[in-house]
Chains A and B, each alone.
Chain A
Amino acid sequence: MTMLQEAFRPDEVAAPGAQGRARAALLERIHPGPRVRGLRWPIRVGLAAAIATAAVVSVVVIENVGTVGEQGSVDAPPFGQAAAAAEFLENAAVAASRKSWTAPRPDQFMYKESHVLRNDKELETREPNGPLVPGRTRVVVEQDWKRIDAQVWGRMDGGKLVVERQGERVSWGQVPYADLAKLTTPDKVLAWDKAPKNFGVTLDALPGQYVLPPEVEAAFFRALAQREGMRMNPEAVNIDGRPAVGLGITLEGYLSQELLFDKETYALIGERLVAIADHTNVGNDGTSYSRKGDLFRQVVYTNSLIVGKVGDTK
């Protein structure tokens, strides 16, 4: 033992800055920076009506990056009490409010990136509204850039960056950033939610669709905590290697629409839509059956930040 110790002395000392970088990485893990991406709107026709308000803002499905492991069927959530949901959302609000932040300029962009779990193309074509099938899924990467002043929207399409300008080929709705920046309390958020708007946008979707100032994101979480029917599923799912807690509401009595939070850091890390009861859908074009535990949508938010120009990812 002594030989081994002596022969390989002296101890290596970390290079200048190495410890600092490692510490910064740890602190980032302890208090994650903005990495939110919220509920986009359901892409399945059968669920669209149930989940109501459709987004006008950009939803871009871009690139197939391959298959994923078995992530399909999940246990139906044993819902916790509402008080637990409120407590968790309060913790999420505190965590959000600690993020560092510099108010963006009008010419900067909100960059959003997420990994969406979808059935393979053959299955998706055959049954577009069906649940995700274990072993038949793939991950689709979504990337988009929305300029703060709502005049430019970029997206990756088949590996190519496509940039649109407001009113040229397309038009899109985007909540004015100045309006969002004012929503610094839950009361303001709830009032904003009730106010008539030119296009549909739901309260729980917004923190995921926009890169919000920390105090606004915190206010959104606190507003969600006041929402009637908000429930916590403490054993929601493990995504991206992290245990997640789902908080959400029940739709149509059998679907749970949830935001997923990191169980330990309280960071918003994804979303999902899962059946919490068996259900039969009688439709004009046929009858379909959902089983308790069927997973209809799962998204992992992988990046969310302010960038200088369209196409930037950091």
Chain B
Amino acid sequence: METDAELIRQACGSPERFAMVFDRHYQHIYAYAARRLGRDLAEDVASETFLVAFDRRAGYDAARQDARPWLYGIASNLIARHGRAESRRYKALATLGTDLAQDDFVVPVVGRVDAIAVRGRLAAALARLPRPVRDVLLLVAWAGLNQQEAAAALDIPHGTARSRLHRARQEMRKALGADMEGYE
């Protein structure tokens, strides 16, 4: 199977090859954007991500076989345009999480942290994080990139990504307290 890099290179001469890159990665980009912005905006962001990527295909670094960091980086920049919407979403989730945690009908699953109960606090913490820090954290936690890939996606030095991730973890620990133990 051709790598993403090969497809993108081919798409410089045969643009229709780029559709395969779309088919491979659309759902992942959509899911990532939806977690950060909700469904409606995610549809716009995911679509726009591939339009931007197509326009920039000539500048793609062929040494990167996997296009995911590149695509997530574009998506992150597009998400940044919706900063207020993202903050509103986290605040809404924070409220919801608090309500559910107080709801007698929400029964924690044995052996597993009740995600709903802590989601509110996580969302509140995410809302407080500076965007550059949040970008690194969520690229690692939600997009599944490693630290180096997150750095590449955001076009920042590895050391910067590392320090932002460290800061993000501290903030999340602070927000969750003892609940966070054992879940690094």
A residues within 8 Å of B by Cβ?
A: 1-9, 11-15, 18-19, 21-23, 25-27, 29-31, 242, 264-265
A3 in contact with B30 given A8-B142, A264-B15, A264-B58 (CB within 8 Å): no
> Which stretch, B1-9, B35-43, B70-78, B150-158, touches the partner chain A?
B35-43
Pick the contact of A30 from B16, B35, B172, B179 — CB < 8 Å?
B16
Which residues of chain B in 1-33 are interfacial with respect to chain A, using CB atoms and an 8 Å cutoff?
15-16, 18-19, 22-23, 26-27, 30-31
**Would A26 and B18 count as touching, CB distance under 8 A?**
yes
* Docked pose: A23 CA to B18 CA in angstroms: 10
CB pair A9–B54 under 8 Å, yes or no, is: no
Partner of A23 from the list B22, B31, B138, B140 (CB cut-off 8 Å) is B22
Closest beta carbon of chain A to B106's beta carbon, Å: 13
Closest to A6 in B: B115
Binds A, one of B45-53, B60-68, B80-88: B45-53
Q: Could you tell me if B35 and A12 are in contact, using CB atoms closer than 8 angstroms?
A: yes
**New A-B contacts (17) at CB < 8 Å, excluding given A8-B119, A22-B22, A25-B47:** A2-B183, A3-B122, A6-B112, A6-B113, A8-B142, A14-B34, A14-B42, A15-B39, A15-B43, A18-B30, A19-B27, A19-B30, A21-B47, A22-B26, A26-B54, A30-B18, A31-B15
Question: CA of A1 to CA of B145 in the docked complex: distance in angstroms?
Answer: 12
Given contacts A1-B141, A3-B179, A30-B15, contact A18 B115 (CB under 8 A): no
Q: Are A3 and B113 in contact (CB under 8 A)?
A: yes
Please name all residues of chain A whose beta carbon is closer than 8 Å to the beta carbon of B47 when the two chains form the complex: 18, 21-22, 25-26
Complex Cα–Cα for A11 and B140 (A): 15
> Main secondary structure on chain A at its contact with chain B?
helix
Overall SS of chain B's interface: helix
Return the chain A residue nearest B37 by Cβ.
A12
Question: Could you tell me if B55 and A11 are in contact, using CB atoms closer than 8 angstroms?
Answer: no
- 15 cross-chain CB contacts under 8 A: A2-B183, A3-B179, A3-B180, A4-B122, A7-B116, A8-B119, A11-B34, A18-B43, A19-B27, A22-B22, A23-B22, A26-B19, A29-B55, A31-B15, A264-B15
B130-145 contacts to A (CB < 8 Å): 137-138, 140-142
Bound CA–CA A11/B32 (angstroms):
8
Contacts A1-B184, A8-B119, A31-B15 hold; do A26 and B142 have CB atoms under 8 A apart? Answer: no
B172 contact set on A, CB distance < 8 A: 3-4
Chain B residues within 8 Å of A14, by CB: 26-27, 30, 34, 42-43, 46
Note all chain A residues with C-beta closer than 8 A to B26: 14, 19, 22-23
Q: Return A239 CB to nearest CB of chain B, in Å.
A: 14
